[in-house]
Amino acid sequence: MSAQKDAEAKVVAANATVLGKLPFANRQDFIDVERGFIASLPDATIQNVAGRRVWSMADYAFLQQDTAPASVNPSLWRQSQLNCRHGLFEVVPGIYQIRGFDISNMTLIETDNGVIVIDPLVSAETARAGLDLYREHRGKRPVSAVIYTHSHTDHWGGVKGVMTQDDADSGRVPVIAPEGFVEAIAQENVLAGTAMVRRAQYQFGPLLPKGVKGQVDAGLGKTLSSGSVTLIAPTDLIRRDLETRTIDGVEIVFLMAPDSEAPAEMHMFYPAFKCLNMAENSVHNFHNLLPFRGAEVRDSRAWSRYIDIALATFGDKSEVLIGQHHWPVWGNAALKSYLAKQRDLYKFVHDQTLRLINHGHTPNEIAEMLVLPDSLAQEWYARDYYGTVRHNAKAIYQKYLGWYDGNPAHLDPLPPSDAAKKYVEYIGGFDIALSKARADFAKGDYRWVAEIANHLVFADPANNEARQLAADAYEQLGYLSEAATWRNSYLFAAHELRNGVPQITARSGVAPDALAALPLDTFFDLLAVRLNGLKAVGKSAVLNWVFTDTAQTYVFNLENCALTHRSGLRVTHADATLTLTRQTLNAIMLMQTTFPEAVGAGKIAIEGSPAKLLELLSLFDTFSPTFAIVEPKASRS
């Protein structure tokens, strides 16, 4: 594996200037992140039943040094240190949090006879370890209810570490979530799941080495755990503002926040504890309006409004504010100031982006022009650790005007490889381009060198000099980045150019429990996405699907190179009728078996023409989890 390089002198100097621009003398966050600490596990190391480590803070021991190394932006170093604190913490008597056992927090509220679990982390193993730690110090309280604040995996994936499916089915443990929760999981994570998994490798940097020249943080927390992702579908949905539930003596008031950080999200107030829970809409950084992994653009204006509604409704009643990432804010005056500035952060970037849009500026121009006022920029919780002003402004542009910046030259540009070859030709060839780019690298013009070197790589991916220069430029940009997401993306790009794309076994991008909870319509939409339209030219098919365990029927229709479906039907003119269970279809979608294998095992009965099913299956693409990003992709018909 190629070695990482040192920070260039220009990077060392630029990072040193950060120390004079931000209030590093303000140590309140370091006090707050320790407040209420009870206990933890050694290095927060957690294993699965097979003994494989799914989470550990041991790899981040290098963050114990006070002074940021030259290869890490000092502001990001500070956030990375804060995100290292792990264990069980008391927020106020009766409310506890597990922090640093995953990228997210698990909140625990004691009831008359048990404990409410809010957001059981990413993996069952980490959630179970967190609950065990709580019970070790607070008694073996049974789980009274589970609440999901929103639809992202890091807030529900560990649920089977704290309860069972039978607990939900029997009604012993209600599972509460915002309206649209399951639908949001399907919309955000399934149809583009393979691409999201691949792009998340850049956003979170899980395959990067941990260290001062590698992955140091993810902004919201350290990284994602790698245990068993599970899901138990909600049994109770919150649909309206100020809906109230009293769970084993604890009153909870809900505020809806749809289409903010997640399509389905909600805030909560716990009157008996004077505690406001803002889920993931008010955490200790500027959040993403469009994450690098991919998602629908988030509504910054609505986000700001939901924060303001929470402030207006519960601000005067609250003495502590918690989120499902990072550490709390204590004190009425402090939390109201925090909420007001977070509200204004999202509103400022929204409004100023729209102002510049209406002056005719393009996304790249707006990103260069937009600067936070000092009243926001000097607050650590408004810094660019996860989202950034620069890429969030581009997200707002995309939300309102789409991908096109209005310049016809950008309406139908050449594909990257074709354009790259023309750029190199116009510059005068590889040797001249490399010589000029190396000179600019020496000057510290890393952004420009990355752009030119990217063209060189796309023009000739086998040119090792171009690959190394591009990697060097990405690496220095990573060392400069305040945003963990930017750093991880730059450094992983450098890693792949130097060492090749990691070889990962193809698997479903959706967890088994999440897949099982999805409606069949989403399954069939996913199958339709896999249809290779060019191969389907002139093909037609009509298939009945009969599910014996769910009593559902569907009709597939292949026509005009498009695969459509209708539910509740079974037609007599079908080419074939497939009879199976939902469980069998789940196994196929999880790549645990194939259609032919399931037919051969008697798990799918076919009435009519098996040839039509085989013909249809031959038209489906298989998605690779290792497609190229920083070099040309292999051609695909």
pTM, to two decimals: 0.95
Q: Tell me, yes or no, whether 405 lies in a domain.
A: no
Contacts of 89 (CB under 8 A, 6+ apart): 35, 36, 37, 38, 96, 97, 98, 99
Contacts of 465 (CB under 8 A, 6+ apart): 430, 434
CA distance 228 to 625: 19
Helix, strand, coil % in the chain, rounded to nearest 5: 40, 15, 40
* Pair 347, 476 in one domain: no
- Mean local confidence (pLDDT), 16-26: 97
pLDDT tens readout for residues 48-83? 999 999 999 999 999 999 999 999 999 999 999 999
Q: What is the DSSP string of 287-304?
A: --SS-TT--PPP-HHHHH
Q: Read off the CATH number of the domain in which 325 is found.
A: 3.60.15.30
CA distance 489 to 468: 16
* Pair 443, 386 in one domain: no
- Mean local confidence (pLDDT), 231-256: 97
Other Cβ atoms closer than 10 A to 347: 17
- Mean local confidence (pLDDT), 233-251: 97
Q: Read off the CATH number of the domain in which 591 is found.
A: 3.30.1050.10
Q: What pLDDT, on the 0 to 100 scale, is given for residue 636?
A: 45
The CA-atom distances, in angstroms, between 191 and each of 283, 334, 509, 524 are 29, 42, 9, 10
- At residue 504 the predicted structure's pLDDT band, cuts being 50, 70 and 90, is confident
Q: What pLDDT, on the 0 to 100 scale, is given for residue 312?
A: 98
Q: What pLDDT, on the 0 to 100 scale, is given for residue 445?
A: 98
**Encoded tokens for 602:** 């008697």
Q: Give Dmax over CA atoms of the chain in angstroms.
A: 77
- At residue 422 the predicted structure's pLDDT band, cuts being 50, 70 and 90, is very high
For residue 571, the one-letter residue type is V
For residue 219, the one-letter residue type is G
- At residue 95 the predicted structure's pLDDT band, cuts being 50, 70 and 90, is very high
Other Cβ atoms closer than 10 A to 55: 28
Other Cβ atoms closer than 10 A to 309: 16
CA distance 217 to 229: 21
Residue 188 clears pLDDT 60, i.e. is over it: yes
Beta bridge partners of 98: 88, 106
Residue 311 clears pLDDT 50, i.e. is over it: yes
Query: Is residue 343 a contact partner of residue 304, using CB atoms and an 8 Å limit?
Result: yes
Where are the strands (E) in 271-409, listed by range?
Answer: 275-277, 320-322, 329-330
* Pair 71, 118 in one domain: yes
Q: What pLDDT, on the 0 to 100 scale, is given for residue 238?
A: 98
Q: Tell me, yes or no, whether 622 lies in a domain.
A: no
* Pair 84, 191 in one domain: yes
Q: Tell me, yes or no, whether 409 lies in a domain.
A: no
The last residue of one of the domains, among 472, 499, 526, is 499
Q: What pLDDT, on the 0 to 100 scale, is given for residue 123?
A: 98
**Encoded tokens for 382:** 């408004």
Query: Is residue 307 a contact partner of residue 343, using CB atoms and an 8 Å limit?
Result: yes
Q: What is the DSSP string of 333-358?
A: HHHHHHHHHHHHHHHHHHHHHHHHHT
Domain count, the chain: 3
Least confident of 104-118, 383-397, 435-449, 518-532: 518-532
* Pair 271, 341 in one domain: yes
Query: Is residue 562 a contact partner of residue 625, using CB atoms and an 8 Å limit?
Result: no
pLDDT tens readout for residues 347-379? 999 999 999 999 999 999 999 999 999 999 999
CA 305, 307, 311, 317 torsion: positive or negative?
positive
Q: Tell me, yes or no, whether 292 lies in a domain.
A: yes
- At residue 637 the predicted structure's pLDDT band, cuts being 50, 70 and 90, is very low
% of the chain exceeding 90 in pLDDT: 90
Residue 496 clears pLDDT 90, i.e. is over it: yes
pLDDT tens readout for residues 2-16? 889 999 999 999 999
**Encoded tokens for 462:** 């086998």
Question: What is the DSSP-derived secondary structure letter of residue 210?
Answer: B
- At residue 514 the predicted structure's pLDDT band, cuts being 50, 70 and 90, is confident
* Pair 287, 385 in one domain: yes
Contacts of 271 (CB under 8 A, 6+ apart): 251, 253, 317
Residue from 212, 194, 215 nearest 203 by CA: 215
pLDDT tens readout for residues 583-635? 999 898 888 899 899 999 999 999 999 999 899 999 999 888 889 999 998 75
CA distance 156 to 146: 9
* Pair 61, 114 in one domain: yes
Beta bridge partners of 328: none
Residue from 420, 418, 470 nearest 448 by CA: 470
Q: What pLDDT, on the 0 to 100 scale, is given for residue 328?
A: 98
Q: Read off the CATH number of the domain in which 487 is found.
A: 1.25.40.880
**Encoded tokens for 239:** 């649909």
* Pair 375, 440 in one domain: no
Q: How remote is the C-alpha of 599 from its chain's centroid?
A: 37
Q: Tell me, yes or no, whether 625 lies in a domain.
A: no
Helix, coil or strand: residue 624: coil
**Encoded tokens for 454:** 């990217």
Helices 430-443, 446-459: inter-axial angle, 10-degree rounding: 160
**Encoded tokens for 406:** 């209005």
Q: Tell me, yes or no, whether 410 lies in a domain.
A: no
**Encoded tokens for 438:** 């190396």
The last residue of one of the domains, among 499, 534, 562, is 499
* Pair 459, 594 in one domain: no
Residues in the chain: 637
Question: What value does the mean pLDDT of the chain take?
Answer: 95
* DSSP alpha helix (H) spans, 370-483: 374-377, 389-401, 416-427, 430-443, 446-459, 464-480
* Pair 322, 368 in one domain: yes
* Pair 299, 208 in one domain: yes
Contacts of 293 (CB under 8 A, 6+ apart): 196, 199, 200, 203
Other Cβ atoms closer than 10 A to 550: 12
Q: What pLDDT, on the 0 to 100 scale, is given for residue 509?
A: 64
* Pair 464, 320 in one domain: no
Residue 577 clears pLDDT 90, i.e. is over it: yes
Query: Is residue 297 a contact partner of residue 397, using CB atoms and an 8 Å limit?
Result: no
The last residue of one of the domains, among 449, 475, 499, is 499
- Mean local confidence (pLDDT), 278-303: 96
Domain that holds residue 53: 13-398
- Mean local confidence (pLDDT), 577-586: 94
Q: Tell me, yes or no, whether 90 lies in a domain.
A: yes
Q: Tell me, yes or no, whether 507 lies in a domain.
A: no
